[in-house]
Amino acid sequence: MRLRTFVWREVFERKNQLATSFVAILLGISVIVAVKNITFYSEKAVARELDALGANILILPKSASLQDYYGADMQDEEFPEEYVTRLAASDIQGLDNLSPKLSVPVESVGNRFTLTGILPTNEFQAKAAWQGAGVFARPQNCGTVDVPGASAAPPKETLVRKRVISTLEADQALVGADVGAAMGIKEGDTLTLLGKAFAVTAVLPSTGTVDDSRVFAHLHTVQQLAGKGSVLNAIEIVGCCNQISKGLVQKINTLLPEAKVVTITQIVDTQIRTNQMMARLSLLFLAIIVLVGGASIANYMYSNVFERRKEIGTLMALGAGSSVVLKMFLLKALLLGLAGGVAGYVLGTAIAVVFGPRIAGVVVLPMPSLALWALGVAVAISLVASYFPARQAARLDPATALQEI
Amino acid sequence: MLNMESVSKSYRHRGKTITALDDVTIEIPKGDFVAVVGPSGSGKSTFLLMFGGMLSPASGSVFVDGQSLYDLTSERRALARREKIGFVFQTFNLVPYLTALENVQIPLFLAKLSDREQQERAVALLERVGLGDRLDHKPSELSVGQQQRVALARMLANDPPIILADEPTGNLDPENAQSVQSFLKEANDEGRTIVMVTHDMRAGQIARRTLRLVDGKILNGTSGSVCSGKTDAVEGLRR
């Protein structure tokens, strides 16, 4: 016989009394697991939608005014391209796609539009210092997750959706939908701007923004044609919403005090509010489970100790020390916590997977990482709630317990 | 050897002071069989629990094999109980959710014996008390007499040199009481020291001597008669 045999037999002997505590911890853990699981996929879904909207942070010259978000880079003011290096080399978390831009007005065959210089991502990656900073690695808990059924955007739309493009040669150009339609330009045509011939690699789909009236070319080519040197009008950033809520904008402001940093506050705020509400809801449920589950377990353990005081006294008479008695009750609490945690995770995950799509309108998948969390919380609550009853049992006066006086 | 030197103990109960032991000095040599008799509330159980290391005296000292019991930590006293003392109770105090075999294994498990050693020794003891065919029965599935025999087997599990018995025949019919008395006599014949608290004067007769406790004082000591031999004891338990 071992200590666990002792505990196991006793658990099954009085399983009906134990059931109430088990159900309390099971329900508590399952509700939190379900909320956390649904919240996780809901946040990711919102982040994915936000990601589809494009950049949510703009870095502009200090004196710039912001009237049209998508046309914000159409400024007379400029700042050094070196800002991009500073951002890339910094340890700021939550910077996703960086898109430096320089825009100049141009005219071709009687059509006035904007030539915007952009930097393709392959040039970022070619620079070791920037690569090391992990600019193109999507930060944790940020951006999209792969969800079955969600297909990736075609390469041609990448610029429109994410404000970045992977490759762009010095003599290549991407043409906005309106420009393409007005000038009758097709993919493969040649377009001459500011005296330089560009090969049109794509005509972008319509976005309904000022981007439709632009032609995109390599940043350094545009800088050279404009004769302005290594300067920019704007840097567009896809910032991680979680990080924005943690002060990303302020961090950029500190890093680039000479620049103006603005964000799409409404969208970000909505996301932050949703996240905060879900986080508060999880905390609320956690507080309830700690109070209700813990109180239920403590109550059960105290009555269990009271009921078994003669048995405890007998064990002490037979040579059991306080430590054996303490271990006996804590092992029982551990078993209760493990059982409640496992069952709570399974039930909570089932609730999330079945009801998540109806409640939050998102596909919810099981999260194995929550199993560890559920086990940890359930075991901790059970052990903490049982500690004082267990200590009381271990300190029991055997003479009194045996009712021999 | 068991000793008490000037031991006193009193309790407060509903505002009144009850003297359980009053300046008791006694020596119980190794191999003795002492019956402690006296009216209810005379301090018999207090006397027994003090020798068991479970109730500290208000004053005086209690010695087991020359070691002052209450100068030890509670964990060391538990160890002393485990190694030297076997308890048997009036109400048997079997653990209800364990089988007869597991109940006998408790002192062996506390002594950290291996599973195999626990099993072998517990089976041998239960066979000795005639319950070899009731190993997997829980206390509720055993008769009152059988339950006390399981308790007797458990009492001997760690082969203790000292046995403390609190009214071991108090809940038994005459036939089972006789069996238990014979078993205790047999244990005494094996050289174990036995202190038995009892109301039963017939039970007291198997002891080598009788101590009478009244109002916490030992009034006198008398010699008892030895009644049955080893063979009778084992046969009696098997009946």
pTM of the full structure: 0.67
pLDDT value for A261 = 84
Beta-ladder partners of A157: none
Better-predicted residue by pLDDT, A21 or A333: A333
* Rounded Cα distance, B157 and A222, in Å: 95
* Rounded Cα distance, A105 and A112, in Å: 7
Question: Is B54's Cβ below 8 Å from some Cβ in A?
Answer: yes
pLDDT value for B174 = 85
pLDDT value for A101 = 87
Nearest to B21 by CA among B63, B49, B52: B49
Please name the residue that has the structure tokens 């031999």. Answer: B229
Q: For A174-202, what is the mean pLDDT?
A: 89
Question: Is B87's Cβ below 8 Å from some Cβ in A?
Answer: yes
Closest by Cβ to A405, choosing from B46, B85, B97: B46
Beta-ladder partners of A108: A111
Question: Is A15's Cβ below 8 Å from some Cβ in B?
Answer: no
pLDDT value for B119 = 94
Better-predicted residue by pLDDT, A147 or A325: A325
Most confident option among A271-280, A380-389, B66-75, B224-233: A380-389
Closest by Cβ to A322, choosing from B11, B74, B83: B74
pLDDT value for B45 = 85
* B45/A9 CB distance under 8 A: no
pLDDT value for A351 = 95
Question: Is B166's Cβ below 8 Å from some Cβ in A?
Answer: yes
Average pLDDT, chain B: 86
**Could you tell me where the beta strands, DSSP code E, fall in A119-274?**
172-175, 190-193, 196-203, 214-218, 231-232, 234-239, 259-263
pLDDT value for A254 = 87
Nearest CA in chain A to B101: A1
Kindly give the interhelix angle for A368-394 and A322-360, rounded to the nearest 10 degrees: 150
* Rounded Cα distance, A8 and B17, in Å: 43
Interface test mutation site (partner A, options B48, B49, B123, max chain A beta carbons within 10 A): B49
Q: For B52-66, what is the mean pLDDT?
A: 91
Alpha carbon A326 to chain centroid distance?
A: 42
Better-predicted residue by pLDDT, A185 or B137: B137
Residue-wise pLDDT for A118-173, tens only, equals: 888 766 544 433 333 333 333 334 444 333 433 444 455 555 555 567 778 889 99
Cα→Cα distances B81→A31, A63, A399, Å: 49, 87, 14
Better-predicted residue by pLDDT, B131 or A87: B131
* Cα separation of the two ends of chain A: 31
Residue-wise pLDDT for B1-52, tens only, equals: 899 999 999 887 778 888 889 899 999 999 999 999 888 778 888 899 999 9
- Secondary structure (DSSP) of A267-321: HHHHHHHHHHHHHHHHHHHHHHIIIIIHHHHHHHHHHHHHHTHHHHHHHHHTT--
Q: For A332-356, what is the mean pLDDT?
A: 94
Closest by Cβ to B82, choosing from A13, A314, A319: A319
Residue B60 CB burial class (10 angstroms; 0-12, 13-18, ≥19): middle
* A404/B83 CB distance under 8 A: no
For residues A203 and A177, the answer to whether their CB atoms sit within 8 Å is: yes
Write the secondary structure of chain B as one string of H (helix), E (strand) and C (coil). Answer: CEEEEEEEEEEEECCEEEEEEEEEEEEECCCCEEEEECCCCCCHHHHHHHHCCCCCCCEEEEEECCEEHHHCCHHHHHHHHHHHEEEECCCCCCCCCCCHHHHHHHHHHHCCCCHHHHHHHHHHHHHHCCCCCCCCCCHHHCCHHHHHHHHHHHHCCCCCCEEEEECCCCCCCHHHHHHHHHHHHHHHHCCCEEEEECCCHHHHHCCCEEEEEECCEEEEEEECCCCCCHHHHHHHHHC
Please name the residue that has the structure tokens 């193109």. Answer: A136
Question: Is A405's Cβ below 8 Å from some Cβ in B?
Answer: yes
Region of poorest pLDDT, from A232-241, A289-298, B229-238: B229-238
Better-predicted residue by pLDDT, A109 or B192: B192
CA atoms within 13 A on the CB side of A162: 22
Tokens of A314: 């007998």
How confident is residue A51, by pLDDT bands cut at 50, 70 and 90? low
For chain B, domains (ranges, CATH) are 28-46+79-238 (3.40.50.300)
Closest by Cβ to B54, choosing from A9, A316, A321: A316
Q: Enumerate long-range contacts of A87-90, CB under 8 Å, 24 or more apart.
A: A87/A59, A87/A235, A87/A237, A87/A252, A87/A255, A87/A256, A88/A124, A88/A127, A88/A129, A88/A130, A88/A133, A88/A135, A89/A129, A89/A130, A89/A133, A90/A133, A90/A255
Fill in the amino acid letter for B75.
Answer: E
Average pLDDT, chain A: 80
Region of poorest pLDDT, from A144-158, A245-259, A337-351, B197-211: A144-158
Closest by Cβ to A318, choosing from B55, B74, B87: B87
Alpha carbon B136 to chain centroid distance?
A: 25
> How is chain A split into domains, by residue range?
3-44+274-401, 57-263
Question: Is A311's Cβ below 8 Å from some Cβ in B?
Answer: yes
* A314/B93 CB distance under 8 A: yes
pLDDT value for B222 = 52
**How many Å lie between the alpha carbon of B101 and the closest alpha carbon of chain A?**
10
Statement: residue B239 has pLDDT above 70: no
Tokens of B62: 């209690």
| Stretch (H or E) spanning A357 | helix A322-360
pLDDT value for B109 = 93
* Rounded Cα distance, A331 and B58, in Å: 36
Statement: residue B170 has pLDDT above 50: yes
Residue-wise pLDDT for B119-143, tens only, equals: 999 999 999 999 999 999 999 999 9
The percent of residues in chain A predicted with pLDDT above 90, rounded, is: 25
Tokens of B227: 């009644």
